[in-house]
Amino acid sequence: MVIGEHRPAEIIIDETALYHNIHTEQQRLSAGTEMFMVVKANGYGHGAVQVAKVARAAGATGFCVAILDEALELRRAGFVTEPILVLGITSISCLPLILKYNITVTVSSIEWLKQAIRQLSDKQLTNQLRFFLALDTGMGRIGLQTKETVKQFSMCWQAAQTKLDFQGVYTHFATADESDAGYFEQQQQRFATLMSALPKRPRYVSVANSATSLWHQTVEANLVRFGIAGYGLNPAGTLRKAPFQLQPALSFTSELVFVKQVQPGTSIGYGATYTTPKTEWIGTLPVGYADGVDRRLQGFHVIVAGQFCQIVGRVCMDQLMIRLPQKMPIGTPVTLVGTEANLTITLDDVANYCHTINYEVACGYSARLPRFYQA
């Protein structure tokens, strides 16, 4: 995708904030517990490679991604020795690529493991396949669900140990960000039950995502998969306070590119959903829903010259309009997310207005917006 390098709109990532969040959590971990930084979805919209560099400096010893291509991006960017775990299901046809780049994959079914063993034998591949076993304790996505299937997995793995490097096992909690711990505790018990079917523990046992790491004490685990909180965003949004001060790393800025005065009764934008009740100054920004500015943000606000200015009319694909308090010069800076003067707009503010979560807003900012990094 083309990056808008010649347009006044950009995402700014504060590396100091990233480091603070990751290092602070790393310092809270018990002795012997490692952290893998989750940099899937282009680092939750922050830029995977640059986030990985900061995370490594802050104490992360490995990384988690969602798909194989994200793992390959890190390897090709110079992360040649760190473990990189693909959390999603990877096609068995990619096995030669997985082995070439020493990627750790997720095993979620006995059949996938059997296919991998057959390919490792048939093609005379010499490298061991690194993998984590996924256990579904109540998330309902991927993974083994019963003690019987875990026992079948163990027999399959043990019969082909020379070809396989069983590095770890993990599960994912569905409600770790909620104050009611009932379902969380059920999942913990299911995990313990499934783990009891393994003949021995692998090197890594992981039950903690960001929410689990922030708010729950877990036993028998030694690996945290640190995601959204590393970017300074609360997994619970505004519903629950984090145990330390998270520092949001992402800001989104633009400029006024067009300013006009319009008369009463002038309609703005598609569908004529806003009509001026009086003479007004209207400013145009060169960003829209193709950049990840949610179309539901009509009626929300941005910050211009230390004042909140309302978004009027529907957000267009590449532009949006705002109501200005008075005439302002073209080139006036505009903050869509971040702090200007004494005013702040957070990703949670945007998410709450759109009835979604901060994850979706951050991940939604498209590659057309250039990312700039500041220490």
Between the alpha carbon of residue 51 and those of residues 76, 208, 228, 334, the distances in Å are 15, 20, 12, 25
Same domain, 198 and 261: no
Residue 124 forms part of a structural domain: yes
One domain for residues 32 and 152: yes
Contacts 24+ apart (CB under 8 A), 150-154: 150/194, 150/197, 150/198, 151/197, 152/110, 153/107, 153/110, 153/113, 154/197, 154/198, 154/199
Per DSSP, the residues of 85-104 read EE-S---GGGHHHHHHTT-B
82: helix, coil or strand?
Answer: coil
pLDDT of residue 122: 74
* pLDDT tier, 123 (very low <50, low <70, confident <90, very high otherwise): low
- pLDDT average, residue stretch 164-186: 92
Residue 365 inside a domain? The answer is no
CATH of the domain at 327: 2.40.37.10
- Digit-coded pLDDT (tens) for 31-75: 999 999 999 999 999 999 999 999 999 999 999 999 999 999 999
Global pTM value: 0.95
pLDDT in tens, 17-28: 999 999 999 999
Q: Do the domain assignments include residue 9?
A: no
- Shared domain check, 285 and 223: no
The SS3 assignment for 80 reads: coil
- Give the mean pLDDT of 295-300: 98
Same domain, 215 and 340: no
Q: What is the mean pLDDT of residues 211-215?
A: 88
Domain membership flag for residue 2: no
Model pLDDT, residue 203? 96
213 and 270, same domain (yes or no): no
Per-residue pLDDT at 209: 86
| Tally of CA atoms within 13 A in the half-sphere of 327 that contains its CB | 3
* Residues contributing to the annotated binding site: 141, 317
Note whether 54 and 81 are same-domain residues. Answer: yes
Instruction: With beta carbons less than 8 A apart as the criterion, state whether 37 and 70 touch.
Output: no
| Span 153-169, average pLDDT | 94
- Tell me, what CATH number does 136's domain have? 3.20.20.10
Phi-psi region of 6 (alpha: psi -120 to 50; beta: other; left: phi over 0): alpha
Does 225 share its domain with 260? no
Mean pLDDT across the chain, nearest whole number? Answer: 95
CA–centroid distance for 260 within its chain: 39
Which parts of 160-222 fold into alpha helices (H)? 182-195, 210-215
Same domain flag for 85 and 179 = yes
Residue 325's domain comprises 250-345
Question: Per the structure, how many domains does the chain have?
Answer: 2
Q: What angle do CA 239, 46, 285 make, to 5 degrees?
A: 90
Q: List residues with catalytic annotation.
A: 40, 270
Buried b (16+ CB within 10 A) or exposed e, 177-206: bbeeeeebeebbebbeebbebbeeeeebbb
> Cα(47)–Cα(42) distance, rounded to whole angstroms?
5
- The single residue listed with the structure tokens 């590393």 is 230
d(CA 303, CA 309): 6
Shared domain for 97 and 125, answered yes or no, is: yes
Find the range with the poorest average confidence among 78-82, 178-182, 333-337, 361-365.
178-182
pLDDT the model gives residue 217:
78
Distance CA 235, CA 257 (A): 35
Tokens 């030694």 sit on residue: 222
Q: Which amino acids are annotated as binding site for substrate, given as ranges?
A: 141, 317
Instruction: Kindly give the interhelix angle for 15-28 and 48-58, rounded to the nearest 10 degrees.
Output: 40
Tell me: do 177 and 282 sit in the same domain. no
Average the pLDDT over 175-200 and give the result: 92
- The whole-number pLDDT of residue 126 equals 76
